[in-house]
Structure 1
């Protein structure tokens, strides 16, 4: 018994030794990413402090009210500093992953699209978040005005925090994080456009009214939609990689991966078209992009359980519920007339992006598929 126990202990120790180098390497990578994030935060905070002292010199400023308040300036600096920080960190991390066992090889054009789309989206996201936080603070401290030094310190803190977060995010981009970033960015950008719309009754028409020329907030709305399309194209590449790694790891067929990727690219291009062609520029072309977007998404949701083998049964059932929900949403508009087109668009976007986030989580390479798939021993 003693020799058997000793042999088992030796075997366990051998397995631990075999795993330890990868674990140590992973810890080293995370420690290096944390160090770079701290350095980036320090440089970003210093930029915000110096810029704030120059811009706010000799005057009192509000948190979110007045000409160039602290919130607007901090968001601007965070966006400017965040672009190179995110892009450089992402390219470094992507190159490191590329030297590993990556299943999907991307062209230089696809890599450029990924870098541009994710960088602009992440930077815009922190800008919207900073502006929103300062607006809330202004509501809490009404009529508050602060001096140049205090304004510069607040700017430095906001820029440092956002730069730190962007650096960490870019150092470990995954499919789930891309999908979550996309959903949050689209929600934040759309909400910002809704709040800044001069026409209080814009919702009586449809969401496209937010993107018409001459409408307050139209620029941010259209840019949000265009960037969302770019990120969807990037997401298609990440999903393709996860699906193919999953098919190899668990010995499940990968026959529908190309179709899923094509549908997501079509949706991304259609998103970009909706933002690039406002309804008042060409209603026909704008509507064509919108219809293409909806059809491609519905086909993706409905066909995904058939295209991708081994999806969890709970997700397959949820997909059927999502499709039924989309049908119900349309029926409540036409023929029942329960609400208008704006409500249809809003509810459809919520359903679609909720499903997309769930889909990316369920095809993560770390999850064991079930269903009818047979796994090799």
Structure 2
């Protein structure tokens, strides 16, 4: 009687020794192979090992210490109930302590990770740590402001007893600590890009909502940073640290990119991005007040010129640029030019509308550019050529 034997075709993948050394895989370690989006990924069989290990006491103990300090202060002030928003409120207490605790655990975790070289943060320059930390602090402030404003609308004039309020604050601080530790352990270009986007959009929306003049849009976009606006500090600080955060992102991306593409064209791209980031920061540093009006306008024009140079030259200065990205770049550049012509030759667009449209298009293109650079930079020296061969020993 004949037997139908179902034979499985086996393939071998030859992996360079240098690649294996970087993974720290053991010779007899069990590995798992995953196929997704036409890509093969090899990981340890226990996928839980890939997740950051965050011990309970790392985020809970600092939260308990600071919460007890708040509780002691409330007892000293003889508070029996605590409002959601206002002086001596849940919002102010949790914001202050979350900033102190969250940023502290973030800095400590990032430093330990970089020194031990056991996480993505090891590729960041030390000078980037302060910028990223301040950016995280600003995002915490924007997020808390929005969250507690919404909470206040839902529970108008609500007050909680001291013990309930203390538990709320403890949970909030613990959650922020956990998020900040996880952020430090998984810091990557994609995360920094998200931080940049959240900080710019959040900072500007916060300035729009909290400014003293509801008719600011009748002036121009730069009005948010002038002395006439009560929220000018938030707007200008957002721009300054957005520029610095963009520099930190460029630093990180080009660490690996220049290992593989170390030529003059990549250096020109890096310098242009530095110049653009410097202009963004300088616009916040020199607001559109009478004292800096001329300088502010010139820096704004330099920002536009650098943007146009990047769009035109990206074909030559970005390695392996994709045709799809080039097409999108030229479309965005064309739209920016079209908006400029419409603004100059007609009254259809107000100055504020024109500036917001140009800013939105420019930021969209910059984020797309960073995505393309990241896709190149993530390989760097970690890019290896391998071969897939049939295992002849399995064949009869």
TM-score by length of 2: 0.78
Question: Deviation digits for residues 300-346 of structure 1, max 9, x if unmatched?
Answer: 23322331131222222111122112222323322222222222222
Q: Which residue of 2 aligns with 1:292?
A: 302
Q: Distance in 1 between matches of 2:54 and 2:362?
A: 37
Give the CA deviation at 1:299. 2.0
Q: Tell me which residue corresponds to 2:32.
A: none
- Pick the structure with greater CA Rg: 2
Match of 1:74 in 2: 94
Report if aligned partners of 1:71, 1:135 keep a CA contact under 8 Å in 2. no
Larger fraction in strand:
2
Unaligned runs of 5+ in 1: 248-252, 370-374
User: Does structure 2 retain, via aligned residues, the 8 Å contact 1:41–1:164?
Assistant: yes
* Structure 1 pair 322–198 and aligned structure 2 pair: CA distance change class (3 A): same
Alpha-carbon offset, residue 376 of structure 1: 12
Residues paired across the two proteins, number: 352
TM-score, length basis structure 1: 0.81
Kindly provide the CA deviation profile for residues 167-205 of structure 1, in whole angstroms up to 9, marking residues without a partner as x.
111222222221111011111111111111011111111
Are the counterparts in 1 of residues 119 and 185 from structure 2 also a CA contact under 8 Å? no
- 2:129 pairs, out of 99, 104, 115, with 115
State the distance in 1 between where 2:193 and 2:311 align.
15
The aligned counterpart of 2:81 is: 60
**CA displacement, residues 87-131 of structure 1 (integer Å, 9 cap, x when unaligned):** 22223333444999x9x8x8xxx622x011101101221221122
Contact kept in structure 2, 1:322 and 1:355, CA below 8 Å: yes
- Structure 1, residues 20-66: CA drift from partner, whole Å, max 9, x if none? 718459979855x4325x433213431452244234441433223x3
Q: How does 1:142-221 map to 2 (within 5 A)?
A: 142-213=156-227, 215-221=229-235
Across the aligned residues of Structure 1 and Structure 2, the Cα RMSD in angstroms comes to 3.5
Q: Which has the higher contact order (CA 8 A, sep 6+)?
A: 2
What SS is found at the alignment partner of 1:35? coil
Q: For the Cα contact (< 8 Å) 2:256–2:377, is it kept in 1?
A: no
- Structure 2 vs 1, CA of residues 301 and 63 (structure 1 numbering), >3 Å: closer, same or farther? farther
Structure 2 CA distance, aligned partners of 1:192 and 1:169? 23
Please tell me whether residue 352 in structure 1 is matched to residue 373 in structure 2.
Answer: no
**Gaps (5+ residues) in structure 2?**
1-6, 27-42, 380-384, 388-396
**Is the Cα–Cα contact under 8 Å of residues 257 and 376 in structure 2 kept in the other structure?**
no
Q: CA deviation at 1:12?
A: 6.2
How many angstroms apart in 1 are the aligned matches of 2:15 and 2:191? 35
